[in-house]
Structure formats: structure tokens, C-alpha cells
Structure 1
Amino acid sequence: MTTDPQYPLTDAEASAEAARLIAEVYRPEVPATPPTAFRDTTPIPAIGTTPPVPQPESRIVPQWAAGVAVASIGVGAGITGLGCGAWLVLQGLSSVTLLGVLALVAPFAGVAAVATAIGSAISRARSASTTHIYKGTVVQRTEVTATARGMLSRAKAGR
């Protein structure tokens, strides 16, 4: 037994003190960092839509991100234009007939035939005046001497 005026406690006082100590030990701690979310506890009206709540804009977009966004929009628009042009060209090519192709290619085929004829004539004119005359003795050697030995060796013709 102590002589402290708080002790001895009555049963009601001891029960109240125990409840206070337990509540103090198990109370939720305050977080060290502020919360990153906000919950609006304003009561919602039972009838009708909710009133607008101001939501201030606090984000800052870096200049490079804005530039990338504008560039990607431009690239997308350009690619769309190229795709539409290719689609139009391919639609035109899919409706081409044989007669249309022949009418388009005939002038180029004529020019190619004339160019081939001129090149052939020039080639024949150059080769008609050339005569090859070989002078001297001809020696034919048929002996083979194998000087290399082994599985991967090669045979040489004698000189």
C-alpha cells in the first residue's frame, strides 16, 4: 500500500483509469506526412444534382511536355494526311484496266525500244572492225605434281 492520495482507488476509479490508459495506448497516431487524398464531407442534397465545388488547378506542365504534345499532334495529322493520300492512290490503282495501262506505258515502251536499237547498233559498229590475231608458240602442259600431303591439301598443276 502506498500513501499517495490517488491510491488506493475504488473499483469505479480503477476501471476509469484502466479505460483511460488503454485508450491512450491504442489511440491512432497522427501520420507524419499529410494525406494525399481529400474526401469532401459536405452532405449531398437528397433531391437534385450536387452543387459545383471549386477545384483549383495547381499542376504545372513543363515546357518540353507541351512541346512534345504539340509535335505529336502535328505528326499524327501529317501521318493521317499521308494515309489518306495513299488510300486515294491505291483506290485509283485498283480501278485501272489493261487498256489504260497500255495507253499509259506505250510512249515509254517506244522510247525504250528506240534506245535499245541505238545501243545495239553502236555496239555492233564497234565490234565489226576488231580482229584478234594471236602470234607465238602455244605450249600445253599436262603433268601434275603433288607436293602437299595431308587430308586437306590441294594438288597443284606443274609449271
Structure 2
Amino acid sequence: MTADAERAEAERLIANAFEVPTSYRDATPLPAVGTTPPVPQPGRPPMSQRATDASSLMLYAGLSTVPPGLIAIGLLIASDYADPVVVGMICAAPAVIAVPILAVARLLRGAQGIVPPEHHHHYNGPVSQQHHTVSTQTRGLIAKTTNNGS
């Protein structure tokens, strides 16, 4: 191609470039926002990136213990070293941990009756109420409470 032919082709391309639209704006109105409740989306619930990473790490760490456990079970069964007493102790370990936790929960449920019931006072005549703010400070493993105020 000669220089004149190249120049003519470039001018033709530049002239045609402005005839074809390069963007489009959709002018249709957006739908109105109503009182429709949010719909749960599939997948993981929304959370921060750090929480997502931590939950993924916990899932994969838990899954990574399955193959070695299955291999150990297979070896114990194949070699006849699986002692039923030891297996029973291992299986009972979660129950040994759960029993005190359940006992404390039952104790706390029983403590609800200790709180005095709500009192309503009805007065006939003028009544003066005074409210005082009391600052409380609690410190230590065995708590010592100091009340400062009138």
C-alpha cells in the first residue's frame, strides 16, 4: 500500500468510528422498591473476610484429621491391638467433659427463683422520688465490689 492509500484508509476508519455507538444507556425505569422481605441467598452467610478465612481453616483442619484416624483404626483392627476398654474410654471422654457443663447449666436455671419478684407500689398523695447514681468497681478473680456514692 502506498502512503496515500494508507492515509485514505485511516481517514475512512476515523470517520466511521463516530457513526457506530460505543456505549448504550438503558432508559427504562427501575422497578419500585417495596416491602418484600430479604431472601436468603445460597452459600455461606455474609461475614468479614477474616471470619470467612477462619471458618474455612477450621473446616479444613477438621477434615484433615479424618484420614489419619481411619488409617489408625484400620491398623489397630488389622493387628488385633484394638483394646475395647481403651476405645470405650476415648468415646466416653466427651461425655466426661459435658456432664459438668450440663450440671452448671441446670444450677443456673434453678437460680432464677432466687431473684425477688417485681414489686408495684401504689401511693395516694404527693410522692418524692430521688435517684442516685452509684459507681461500682469490681476487680480480681474473686470479685471484691466497692460501691462509691450516696
Q: TM-score range by the shorter chain?
A: under 0.3
Q: Which structure: greater strand fraction?
A: 2
Larger Rg: 1
- TM-score when normalising by structure 2: 0.24
